[in-house]
Structure formats: C-alpha cells, structure tokens
C-alpha cells in the first residue's frame, strides 16, 4: 500500500511492519528524517524485525520497537522537534488533466454535536455510532467536537490522555475503523494526547481508508481570566502545538477541498486563518468548546469573521451542553459559507447537522471581490516559516 513518498509498507495481520521498500531514495533523504504518513494499526507497537536488511538501518532512525519514536500522519510526527518545512501549495494541473475526483464541485459535510461525559468508553462508542449514522445520511466529511472522549477541564486531561505515538490509543483505533468502515473523511475532533511527559489537545484526521493523514495540536492555549465569570488556564497541564495543519482531500481521492485545522481558541487568531488562505485552503475547521460566557458573545461572530476574511467555508463543532458538568459548553455547532451565511446550526442538545457545500462559491466570491489581489504588501504582510516566500525566488 503506497503511503509515503516513493515508499511502500507491508503490514501483517498482527500489525507488524514486515517490509519497507524505498524507490530510489532512502527514507531519511526522502523525508528529512521524518516519515510523513503511516497506517494506524491496532498493534501497540510496530515491529521492524522482519524488514528488508537494506532498509532496516534507515528505518530504525525513525521507527523503533523499544522507544516512543513511532511516526504517524502526513506531517512530520515525532517526539522530537522536527525541522520547519514550508507547507506545499496546492498542485496545479494542466487543463484536461484534472483527476476525476477534483472535478467534484460539492461536499456533503456532517458535524456531530456529541454528549461528552465521564465514561470514556461510552463517549467513544457514542461517537462511533454517530459517525455511522452520519455516513448513512450521505456524509462525505464528518467532523467531531473538541474533547469528545472526556470531560473538558485541566483536572481531566492527564487521566483521559492517550499515547498515540506509542500505539496505545483506543480513541484513534475507533476513529480509523469508523472512517474505513463508513468510507468517510473524518476530522476526529480532539482529545488529550500524551507524548512523553507532555500533554496536548490534539486532533487527528483520517481518510476514507482509515489512514491517519494529519495531526493538529492546539497552537493557542486557552488561558483567560474574566473576573466574576470564568477563569481557565489550559497551560497548567497542556503544551502548545508547533505549527499549522493543512489537509488536502484531493490528495486522498476526495474533491478539491483543502482544509485548515484549528482547535477552539485557535479561532480567535485571525493570522492563522490568513496563513491558511495563503496556503490555498477553502475550508476552515475548528472543533471547539466555547463556554456559557464566551459562547453567546463570540462563537458565531468568530467563525463568520474567519469565513468572510478568508472567503472560505467554515465549521465550528462543539460538544452538546451538559448543565451538570464542571465546564458547560455552549453548543451551537455551525457551518458557514464564504459570504458569512449560516448553512446549518444546532441548538445546545446532541445533534447531527449536515450541509452540502457548493465549492464553486469560493471561486465566485474570490473572483467578485479579489481581496488577495488588493492587499497592500508594501504596507503590511503576514509571514510564517510554514509559508514559502515566493517573492524571494528568481524569475
């Protein structure tokens, strides 16, 4: 099964990696020391004992059966800090050579506003059932809420955290199986992730084959203090992510949809959305859990602002409201179009909301109002090490 640049993995039934074939290049030179895609498997650890000798030495620098260096996803996933590599822009196809999947101009999206209680297994089983239900309703892309496998709160993160890199994640196993069995793209909300001695608020994304294709760790931690209303500090237990996350569905047999992923508080930072627009995104997805103070004030305003700013579709997906919880979520999961119109909205209760996204709307809005061509880069600009500086290239 070809999963990474010029390489092929062969996996046996018990989850052992039995062969790694490189096509002309070694793993390290092809990926700068980091595997960019791998398969989520039920086995706790990968085994390299039966790898071809020529490839095993290179592969051991990335995978190890005795350490926490298992790499998963389309970005460079590791326990160490990877080098910053610019995210590639969308591939441009010559006229007449556009793959059939990229000619699709609609995407049916389902957002699952789930009840998330103290029973972790019940939360996971409920999510799996709702994913199946959404797929039966015709969904092609399914989005889950923030912290869907646990209550939301700093005192819960360590208890509910899972070591995905070590292969010890019942939540990821469910997500992979649900995506594969239902044949949907899946944005797996978020859940607490353990990596060494650090905890992260992490979203994993899967394609229709159940392959884990991306990971986003919450970049901006939710540290606020509104006197008399709410005080919350994620930084007491969580570490921040190190970069933006872009997922191109057309690279996995889907329509020409390029998603920029954020988690909850990430939506308040317009610069991140601007980076996603610069990277060719036309859909912004934010699993989130605003509360009863910030939700009524800013939830709808922020997603519509991000959509109008970037002329993209947008999704905010919340847990259902539980008045008995320590942290009470606002709910009101919402899908918004590039003009800022609401395509679907839930109330506070558990629900599935669906919408058909007309992808041609993005082209229409960006053509009618070409904001990106009118920006004054001589006065202001947004730069990032993850965005290639095209102006520095020689013509």
Separation between Cα atoms, residue 198 and residue 181, nearest integer Å: 32
The DSSP line for 153-218 is SHHHHHHH-BBTTTTB-HHHHHHHHHHHHHT-EEE---EEEEETTEEEEEEEEE-TTS-EEEEEE-
Q: How far is CA 212 from CA 137, 150, 178, in A?
A: 23, 21, 12
Cα-based distances in Å from 69 to 12, 14, 35, 63: 20, 19, 11, 6
List beta partners, residue 202: 191, 217
3-state secondary structure of 310: helix
Catalytic residue (one of 51, 116, 264, 281): 264
Residue 89 and residue 108: Cα distance in Å, rounded? 24
Q: Which residue, chain included where needed, has tokens 């070809």?
A: 2
Whether residue 218 lies in the annotated active site:
yes
DSSP 270-301: HHHHHHHHHTT--EEEEE---BTTHHHHHHHH
Is 146 one of the annotated active-site residues of the chain? yes
Q: Tell me, yes or no, if 264 is annotated catalytic.
A: yes
Q: Rg of the chain over CA atoms, in angstroms?
A: 21
Catalytic member of 51, 71, 147, 218: 218
CA 39 to chain centre: 16
Q: Which of 268, 92, 252 lies closest to 180, judged by CA? A: 252
The one catalytic residue among 51, 116, 140, 146: 146
Contact 351, 111 (CB under 8 A): no
Instruction: List active site positions.
Output: 146, 218, 264
């Amino acid at each position: 099964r070809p999963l990474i640049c010029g390489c092929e993995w062969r996996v046996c039934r018990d989850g052992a990696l039995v062969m790694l074939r490189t096509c002309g290049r070694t793993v390290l030179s092809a990926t700068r020391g980091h595997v960019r895609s791998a398969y989520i498997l039920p086995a706790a650890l990968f085994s390299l004992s039966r790898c071809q000798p020529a490839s095993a030495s290179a592969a051991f620098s990335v995978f190890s059966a005795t350490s926490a260096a298992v790499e998963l996803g389309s970005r460079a996933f590791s326990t160490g800090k990877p080098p910053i590599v610019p995210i590639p822009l969308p591939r441009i196809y010559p006229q007449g050579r556009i793959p059939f999947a990229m000619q699709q101009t609609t995407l049916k999206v389902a957002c699952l506003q789930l009840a998330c209680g103290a029973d972790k297994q019940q939360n996971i089983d409920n999510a799996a059932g709702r994913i199946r239900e959404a797929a039966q309703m015709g969904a092609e892309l399914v989005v889950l809420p923030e912290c869907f496998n646990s209550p939301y709160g700093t005192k819960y993160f360590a208890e509910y955290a899972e070591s995905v890199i070590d292969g010890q994640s019942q939540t990821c196993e469910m997500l992979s199986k649900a995506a594969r069995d239902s044949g949907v793209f899946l944005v797996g909300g978020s859940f607490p992730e353990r990596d060494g001695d650090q905890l992260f608020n992490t979203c994993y994304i899967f394609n229709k084959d159940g392959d884990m294709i991306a990971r986003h760790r919450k970049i901006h931690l939710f540290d606020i203090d509104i006197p008399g209303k709410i005080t919350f500090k994620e930084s007491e237990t969580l570490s921040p992510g190190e970069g933006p996350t872009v997922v191109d569905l057309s690279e996995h047999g889907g329509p020409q949809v390029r998603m920029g992923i954020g988690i909850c508080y990430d939506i308040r930072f317009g610069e991140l959305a601007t980076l996603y627009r610069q990277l060719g995104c036309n859909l912004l997805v934010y699993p989130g859990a605003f509360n009863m103070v910030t939700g009524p004030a800013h939830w709808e305003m922020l997603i519509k602002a991000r959509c109008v700013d970037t002329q993209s579709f947008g999704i905010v997906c919340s847990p259902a409201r539980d008045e008995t919880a320590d942290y009470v979520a606002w709910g009101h999961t919402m899908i918004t179009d590039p003009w800022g119109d609401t395509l679907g909205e839930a109330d506070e209760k558990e629900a599935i909301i669906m919408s058909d996204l007309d992808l041609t709307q993005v082209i229409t809005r960006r053509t009618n109002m070409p904001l990106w061509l009118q920006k004054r880069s001589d006065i202001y600009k947004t730069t990032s090490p993850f965005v290639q500086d095209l102006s520095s290239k020689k013509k």
